[in-house]
Amino acid sequence: MLLIVGLGNPGSQYARNRHNVGFMAADAIARRHSFSGFSKKFRAEIAEGTLAGEKTLIIKPMTFMNLSGDSVGEAMRFYKLKPADIIVIHDELDIAPGKLKLKTGGGNGGHNGLKSIDAHCGKDYKRLRVGIGHPGHKDRVNPHVLGDFSKADQDWLQPLLDAIADNAELIAKGDDAGFLNKIALATGQANAPAKPAREPAKAPAKPATAKKPSGNSHIHQARQGKPSVPASGPMAEMLKKLFGNKD
């Protein structure tokens, strides 16, 4: 049996928060694969169905984020599951908006929902981390996380949720690489940042070249046997010493 956990906070006031993207993904999977309607059990909303031929329970803890492990641990013990049977979908500040990472085990990155699940279930469960981006300063983290997705976010949010739902069976089969590849193919264009227009490349300026002197020096003229050298004066005496007096 597989347990898919979407993390979030209960209540309509939190429904569109970035922190609730785990709930959103869980709902999308349940709809796409015709799971049962959600009912209440384990202090959570749960829906039953199958993924890749395996019985699967989707669970949305109603304990509020910081106590998510209370609910997940109860379901885990009831069904006698191991951490390896659990997939948790949650928001991730340190990943760019709309990007995904999938891993088993590891740290909680300060995520209170994961801290709670670690305490009740151990750490060796799979985490599907959905990037929501970092606001840039720690003082803005709470308003960002507990704020609704912006209008600009809608360009990537729904296509990403659809792609997660469409390819959820690959996670159930343990094909993590295949799942991430399918997501990239499905959302790559929608998630690609706009490239700034480039100005046409300018031809490099040619280095300035020194102008050639209009005439040759007196010494060069003397070597070439040219007559345009002074007949008298200091320069004439110097030339005579260099080349000999041919008079």
Q: Does residue 35 contact residue 48 with C-beta atoms inside 8 Å?
A: yes
Could you give the 3-state DSSP secondary structure of residue 131?
Answer: strand
Is position 16 within any domain?
yes
Task: Name the pLDDT band for 194 (thresholds 50, 70, 90).
Answer: very low
In a domain, 198, yes or no: no
Strand partners, 56: 2, 49
CATH number at residue 98: 3.40.50.1470
3-state secondary structure of 169: helix
Domain with 238 in it = 217-247
Q: State the number of CA atoms in the 13 A half-sphere of 48 facing the CB.
A: 6
Residue 170: per-residue pLDDT: 97
Domain boundary among 191, 207, 228: 191
Residue 237: what pLDDT?
67
The answer on 153 and 66 residing in a single domain is: yes
Residues 80 and 179 in one domain: yes
My answer on whether 186 and 227 are in the same domain is no
Q: In the chain, pLDDT over 70 holds for what percent of residues?
A: 76
User: Is residue 209 situated within a structural domain?
Assistant: no
Question: Residue 200: pLDDT band by 50, 70, 90 thresholds?
Answer: very low
Q: How confident is the model at residue 224 (pLDDT cuts 50, 70, 90)?
A: low
Q: Annotated catalytic sites, by residue?
A: 19
Asked whether residue 68 is assigned to any structural domain, the reply reads yes
53 & 14 share domain: yes
Give the tokens for residue 139.
């003082």
Task: Say what the pLDDT of residue 198 is.
Answer: 47
Q: Within 10 Å of residue 212's Cβ, how many Cβ atoms?
A: 7
- pLDDT of amino acid 205: 57
Q: In this predicted model, which residue has the larger pLDDT, 225 or 162?
A: 162
| Structure tokens, 87 | 């997939």
Question: Same structural domain for residues 19 and 109?
Answer: yes
| Residue 206 domain flag | no
Establish if 211 belongs to a structural domain.
no
Q: Could you read off the pLDDT of 79-137 as tens digits, one per residue?
A: 999 999 999 999 999 999 999 999 999 888 889 999 999 999 999 999 999 999 999 99
Number of domains in the chain: 2
| Sign of the C-alpha dihedral computed for residues 239, 241, 244 and 245 taken in this order | positive
pLDDT digits (tens, 9 = 90+) for 37-89: 999 999 999 999 999 999 999 999 999 999 999 999 999 999 999 999 999 99
* pLDDT band at residue 199 under the 50/70/90 scheme: very low
**What integer pLDDT is reported at residue 110 of this predicted model?**
87
Same structural domain, 163 and 222: no
The overall average pLDDT reported for the chain is 85
Q: 196 pLDDT exceeds 50?
A: no
196 found inside a domain = no
The residue with greater pLDDT, 195 or 105, is 105
* Cα end-to-end span (Å), the chain: 117
Q: Which of 147, 173, 191 is the last residue of a domain?
A: 191
H or E segment to which residue 23 belongs: helix 21-32
Residues 143 and 92 in one domain: yes
Question: How sure is the predictor about 197, in pLDDT bands with cuts at 50, 70 and 90?
Answer: very low
228 and 141 both lie in a single domain:
no
Q: For residue 207, is it within any domain?
A: no
Question: What is each CA distance from 114 to 59, 69, 90, in whole angstroms?
Answer: 15, 8, 8
DSSP 112: H
Burial (CB < 10 A; 0-12, 13-18, 19+), residue 227, is exposed
